[in-house]
Amino acid sequence: MNTYEPPIFEYSAPGKIGVALPELDVPEAALPEELLRDDEMDGLPELTEVEVVRHFTRISQRNYCIDTGPYMLGSCTMKANPKIHEEMARLPGFAFIHPLQDEELAQGALQLMYGLQQLLGEISGFSHVSLQPAAGAQGELTGILVFRAYHLERGDTERVEVLVPDSAHGTNPATAAMAGLRVVEVKTDRRGNVDLDDLKSKLGPRTAGLMLTNPNTLGLFDEHVQEVSRLVHEAGGLMYGDGANFNAILGIVKPGAIGFDLMHYNLHKTFTTPHGGGGPGAGPVGCTDELAPYLPGPVVVKQGERYALHMPEKSIGRVKSFYGNFGMFVRAYTYIRMLGAQGLREVSEIAVLNANYLRVKLQDIYPVAYDRTCMHEVVLKGQIKDAPGIRTLDIAKRLIDYGFHPPTIYFPLTVPEAMMIEPTETETKRNLDLFIAAMRRIAQEAREQPELLREAPTRAPVRRLDEVRAARQPILSYHREAIQALRGDKADPDDVLIRPLGV
């Protein structure tokens, strides 16, 4: 690693070719004049197949992913994605179905969607589910638009405030603002719960609802959740459940039964469909009978033995083209059916056990944010005794040298030097012990050789990035001149902000 290889564009030479097309066996047709480009094409690399294959394979090897190591990124639930899901999603009947195919010819796909709606509803205690939203954040927007539609329908036009705890994920206030409502922050009490007095002082006739993550982003189950929900409902507001932390309570708590009116599920977190990489996620929403008419559609309904698409009567409309990210539905459905009710409960029990194991083994050197049994993730502080000047960022970077993806850091914003660690149920005890050993060794280094932390990472393809410069001067695609200008007089080719492909 850390060796300089020219980016793929620099391998390019005129006339190199990576494909062999067959002889043309139909008459050549000229393109219409108006479709022809009028300038010379510039910049597409000309390469051999092996160069292209090596380029992409090399990039893939630089990627840290759940298939290469533990990924204890708090709040993100980076658990292993069982490979059977991929086989199911690749079944030709699922993989090659066309979104415009006639309902009659898509009964299998509709049955699966209906089944997933039912299962998600059952697990969470909601009577209705829409699979439309493409991610948790979109589920949030959907939910708040549903809340607004519900209030407006009742002539309740003054409800323009959404209450959001100060520990909330940034998508919560962003959602409320995007929906055109006003965000009102609610404080956290000393035990990490919603501060009831602060809540009471902020509820009123302008309250549209409260967005609550439970367990919350401090990894704690709100001890007063039912009281919170009673207060919000008394004020005429609705309870939004951010279901990103559902992995802690599967088969144990049904959010629909403890006062939530609507909740999103992150299939890519709790239900092991792959995360990110720019790829599709899925953030279905479940809700009560009262809110169901407003759900985005189409949803799948069962009419006798037939499955049909249905637009709820007062729907807020579509939030996604066609039906949502269908391939993710196949994976999540497979996961739930493979595990069954008992298996899902065990998922949460082990996820919580693993997080508490880390908490107990690390809290003597990394102070806990809240001294309580945690749920599926634990929030520690990167404040090591006798190591002034070492910050959470340094610890996170050093973890990379030990082969671990760093946990979530500096979130929640209310905890100074936060490290939010979520091991998930799919890490073995051996891996947890290796992580604990790395964290303990890093604390020792912090006291004895702090420069090791400040210089970290030293064993990654890129060294520590200048984050301010990266934000101010992002270079998101390969431009030779820009990269050269950035390197400037620095000879070290690794010292760039965003590496061009292949470097």
Ligand X SMILES: *Cc1c(COP(=O)(O)O)cnc(C)c1O
Contacting residues toward ligand X, per CB under 6 A? 75-76, 135-137, 169, 171, 213, 217, 242, 244, 266, 281, 283
Q: How far apart are CA 387 and CA 446, in angstroms?
A: 6
Q: How far apart are CA 138 and CA 283, in angstroms?
A: 7
Closer to ligand X by Cβ: residue 283 or 500: 283
Sign of the C-alpha dihedral computed for residues 225, 175, 170 and 350 taken in this order: positive
Q: How far is the CB of 276 from ligand X (least distance, A)?
A: 8
β-partners of residue 310 are 299
Closer to ligand X by Cβ: residue 76 or 144: 76
- Phi then psi for residue 493, to 5 deg, are -70, -15
Burial class of 157 by CB neighbour count within 10 A (0 to 12, 13 to 18, 19+): exposed
Closer to ligand X by Cβ: residue 135 or 387: 135
Residue 234: count of CB within 10 angstroms of its CB: 10
Q: How far is the CB of 134 from ligand X (least distance, A)?
A: 8
Closer to ligand X by Cβ: residue 139 or 500: 139
Token pair recorded at residue 229: 């929900």
Burial class of 183 by CB neighbour count within 10 A (0 to 12, 13 to 18, 19+): middle
Q: How far is the CB of 178 from ligand X (least distance, A)?
A: 13
What element of type H or E holds 337?
A: helix 326-362
Closer to ligand X by Cβ: residue 287 or 420: 420
Q: How far is the CB of 76 from ligand X (least distance, A)?
A: 6
Helix (H, G, I), strand (E, B) or coil at 257: helix
Q: How far is the CB of 482 from ligand X (least distance, A)?
A: 30
Q: How far is the CB of 466 from ligand X (least distance, A)?
A: 26
Give the closest residue to 243 by CA, choosing from 346, 159, 348, 337. 348
Distances in Å between the Cα of 327 and the Cα atoms of 97, 134, 257 are 10, 11, 30
Q: Is 146 left (phi over 0), alpha (psi -120 to 50) or beta?
A: alpha
How many helices and strands (H and E) does the chain possess? 14, 12
Q: How far is the CB of 173 from ligand X (least distance, A)?
A: 11
Q: How far is the CB of 11 from ligand X (least distance, A)?
A: 36
Which residue's Cβ lies closest to ligand X? 136
Q: How far is the CB of 32 from ligand X (least distance, A)?
A: 43
Closer to ligand X by Cβ: residue 274 or 281: 281
Helix (H, G, I), strand (E, B) or coil at 69: coil
Q: How far is the CB of 242 from ligand X (least distance, A)?
A: 5
Q: How far apart are CA 229 and CA 208, in angstroms?
A: 13
Closer to ligand X by Cβ: residue 138 or 500: 138
Q: What is the 3-state secondary structure (H, E, C) of 202-224?
A: HCCCCEEEEEEECCCCCCCCCCC
> Are the C-beta atoms of 414 and 216 separated by less than 8 Å?
no
Q: How far is the CB of 169 from ligand X (least distance, A)?
A: 3
Closer to ligand X by Cβ: residue 242 or 417: 242
Which one-letter DSSP state was computed for residue 126? -
Give the closest residue to 274 by CA, choosing from 89, 74, 55, 62. 89
Q: How far is the CB of 73 from ligand X (least distance, A)?
A: 10
Closer to ligand X by Cβ: residue 263 or 503: 263
Q: How far apart are CA 390 and CA 444, in angstroms?
A: 12
Cα–chain center distance at 124: 19
User: What's the chain's Rg over C-alpha atoms?
Assistant: 26
Closer to ligand X by Cβ: residue 7 or 139: 139
What element of type H or E holds 379?
A: strand 378-381
Burial state string for 187-207 with b = 16 or more CB within 10 A and e = fewer than 16: bbeeebbbbeebbeebbeebb
> Are the C-beta atoms of 409 and 75 separated by less than 8 Å?
no
Closer to ligand X by Cβ: residue 173 or 293: 173
Closer to ligand X by Cβ: residue 106 or 124: 124
Closer to ligand X by Cβ: residue 141 or 503: 141
